[in-house]
Structure 1
Amino acid sequence: MLFPISDDDREVTTVAYVTNAILLINVLVFLVQMSDPAITYGYSVVPQEITSGVDLVEPQMLQVEGHGAVTIPQAPGPRIIWLTLLTSMFMHGGFGHIAGNMLYLWIFGNNVEHRFGHVWFLVFYLVAGLAGSLAQIASNPGSIIPNLGASGAIAGVMGAYLVLFPRNRVNAVFFYVIVTIPAVWVLGMWIAMQFVNSVGSIAATSESAGGVAYLAHVGGFVAGVLAALLCRMMIRREPDSELRRQYQHDPRARQIW
């Protein structure tokens, strides 16, 4: 099991304002969710709500193989139901869910924000999250199961990081040992797992009542890769910063640009 814990930008002193703000918003929204569970069901993305434009406000029954009829809670959402595509990006299903997503954002987000700039990074983050949600909806447009989480947007950040900083060193826990390996290996293994798992999820039908939204990960990752490639074409030179100066004196932290 490979579990990343940090990358090689510890000497960077620039502040990733957008990354930090997104982290804070996610934590605050999660606290609100804990105080009122109805918010979770009302403001999550439900594919059937998006494709039909109708807000589901009453619990729905779903036949699940091996379990019979299962009740799927629902609650009133925003008046414009498509806004759940945005609100769901800042919501999570539990402590493990938010902890994992925020850890990856903390490790990889500041580098990508540095390269894109604050405003464009925010636009990129939201577009990647939207791409992830739309990919998941496209896989099962009639689903009544709520989807939530920043996974699609985080996958976009990781896709961009992989393109922009493939040779950065990432510190990770491998079983009980801390190892340092190139980012291309860490993120490459992660997305390979998402693609493999998404093949199985495509075959799922309404008989499935839950699970990880792997197609949201894939959709966000692809959006991140495309945005990073566009950035590489438009910005040919690394802007002057502490990060660039670190590259100059640390031969292990080289990026392909």
Structure 2
Amino acid sequence: MLPIRDHNPSGRTPYVTYILMAANIGIFLSYVGIMQEARLINAFWIDWALIPARLEAGQGTYTLVTSMFLHGGWMHLAGNMLFLYIFGDNIEDELGHLGYLLFYLAAGIAAGWVQYISAPGSVIPTVGASGAIAGVMGGYLLLFPKAKVDILIIFIVFFRIFPIPAWIMLAVWFALQFAGGIGSDPDAGGVAYWAHAGGFIAGLALISPLWIRRGGPAFWDRTDGRPPHPQARYRIGASSIPKVGRQRRPRGPWS
């Protein structure tokens, strides 16, 4: 289940979202050439990735920020940038450019702390913008729960695009992160589920004062739970493997 776009693009240019995307992509390109060199990439992670054991020893506090601009591979980067592109512009529109930047960084730092608390002695490096972007998704859930999001469902050879309310997609995503965190071994590497869950909750908490100032539930009544911009119209049709009719075999002397 992959979100591909929302139906309410921002009313103004989301400069900070674009700058964050450019920074993440540019930084990744700066070190992707050493990722196959174990000695070099491990030294790089030690210097710049979030390693809970270093924080436990009172070192590397700056990695709470630097780690959120690093990624472990092309797909890791592409997935994060897609989510940031879909959900970031509307939050930037509501908070303003500077407010959104501070919100993004604060959510990312909170996500890093939660990951550290989940396994303070771990020596596994944590990298990625996922925690900060999870904060953006948490903010989006509170402000725009009924916004339409197109998701791509892929099941073996079947694929189809469905528009669904944002709250369904975001709630399912958060539930998967929370469940994954409970069932994971933080010392085994893999997905940083607790960073995702922590960033999401941080985003909800950080956006709450704005939501309350806008009227809380009354804000939803005024906006119908959607961004205050005209909906974009997309052609959404059945996207599946074409069906081929059964053909009658001609009669003949073939076995």
On whether the aligned pair clears a TM of 0.5, the verdict is yes
Are 2:105 and 1:126 aligned?
yes
Q: How does 1:175-186 map to 2 (within 5 A)?
A: 175=154, 176-186=159-169
Aligned-residue identity in percent:
42
| Whole-Å separation in 2 of the counterparts to 1:145 and 1:131 | 18
What one-letter code is carried by the residue in structure 1 that aligns with 2:175?
A
Partner Cα distance (2:58, 2:149) in 1: 43
1:9 maps onto 2:14 in alignment: no
Report deviation, 1:244.
2.6
C-alpha separation in 2, matches of 1:88 and 1:105: 16
Structure 2: give runs of 5+ residues left out of the alignment: 35-40, 234-255
Larger-Rg structure: 2
CA distance in 2, matches of 1:135, 1:86: 14
C-alpha distance in 2 between matches for 1:140 and 1:13: 41
TM-aligned CA deviation for residue 210 of structure 1? 0.9
What letter is aligned with 1:179? F
Aligned residue number for residue 231 of structure 1: 210
> After the TM superposition, which residues 20-99 of structure 1 pair with which residues of structure 2 at under 5 Å, given as runs?
20-36=18-34, 37=41, 38-54=43-59, 81-99=60-78
- Secondary structure, aligned partner of 1:190: helix
- Residue 124 of structure 2 corresponds to residue 145 of structure 1: yes
What is the alpha-carbon distance in structure 2 between the residues aligned to residue 134 and residue 4 of structure 1? Answer: 27
Aligned-pair CA distance for 1:174: 1.7
Following the alignment from structure 1 to structure 2, what is the Cα–Cα distance between the partners of residues 163 and 96?
28
In the alignment, which residue of structure 2 is the partner of 1:244? Answer: 228
- Residue 115 of structure 1 deviates from its aligned partner by 0.9
- What is the SS of the residue equivalent to 1:161? helix
Q: Which amino acid aligns with 1:93?
A: G
Q: 1:192 aligns with which of 175, 181, 191?
A: 175
Shift of 1:122: 0.6
Give the structure 1 partner of residue 250 of structure 2.
none
Opposite residue 35 of structure 1, the aligned amino acid is G
After superposition, what is the alpha-carbon deviation per residue over 1:192-248, rounded to whole angstroms, capped at 9, x for unaligned?
1011111113xx36xx43111100001100001112221111244799xxx63527x
Give distance in 2, aligned partners of 1:33 and 1:126.
22
| Equivalent-residue separation in structure 1 for 2:55 and 2:229 (angstroms) | 47
Corresponding letter in the other structure for 2:19: A
Q: Which runs of 4+ in 1 moved over 3 A?
A: 235-239
Distance 1:33 1:7 in 2: 32
Q: How does 1:140-219 map to 2 (within 5 A)?
A: 140-175=119-154, 176-201=159-184, 204=185, 208-219=187-198
Secondary structure of the residue aligned to 1:246 is coil
* 1:14-71 residue CA offsets vs partner (Å, 9 max, x unmatched): 10011110000000110112134343342001111111024xxxxxxxxxxxxxxxxx
For the 8 Å contact 1:40–1:91, the answer to whether it is kept is no
Q: How big is the alpha-carbon RMSD for the aligned residues of Structure 1 and Structure 2?
A: 2.1
User: What SS is found at the alignment partner of 2:152?
Assistant: strand
Structure 1's unaligned 5+ residue stretches are: 55-80, 251-257
Partner of 1:64: none
- Aligned equivalent of 1:66: none
> In structure 2, how many angstroms separate the alpha carbons of the residues matched to 1:143 and 1:209?
9
Instruction: Provide the secondary structure at the position in 2 that maps to 1:130.
Output: helix
- Paired with 1:244 and 1:210, the residues of 2 have a C-alpha distance of 41
Q: 1:245 to 1:193 in 2, by over 3 A?
A: closer
